[in-house]
Amino acid sequence: LHAAVTDAGARHWEQAATDLPGELGLLADEAVELAGRVEAMSPTQWGEIGRVVGGTTVTALELAHEAVRTGIGGLRATEAAMAAARPD
């Protein structure tokens, strides 16, 4: 697995968001796809272990938890930036 799985400093978002409706659509599509993958997993699959570059290991459950935590953090940061940009 890529180092960004466990290291927030290794995460780089290379695209510039210029089309809000398009970006929100992409976010919705990705969320639906991830939810489908999560829903399809069997109980034993949650304990499967993956190796991260650098030697760290992570279970499927830990990976899903980190994805949700990262998504929530990104949405909160976006919400704060949008609130700050709104005229009073």
pTM: predicted TM-score of the whole model, two decimal places = 0.73
pLDDT in tens, the chain (88 residues): 888 888 878 877 666 667 778 878 888 898 899 899 999 999 999 999 999 988 889 999 999 998 888 888 888 988 898 889 888 7
Q: What is the spatial distance between Cα 32 and Cα 35, in angstroms, rounded to a whole number? A: 5
For 39-78, letters b (16+ CB in 10 Å) and e give: eeeeeeeeeeeeebeeeeebebebbbeeeeeeeeeeeeee
Under 8 Å CB-to-CB from 17, ≥6 apart: which residues? 23
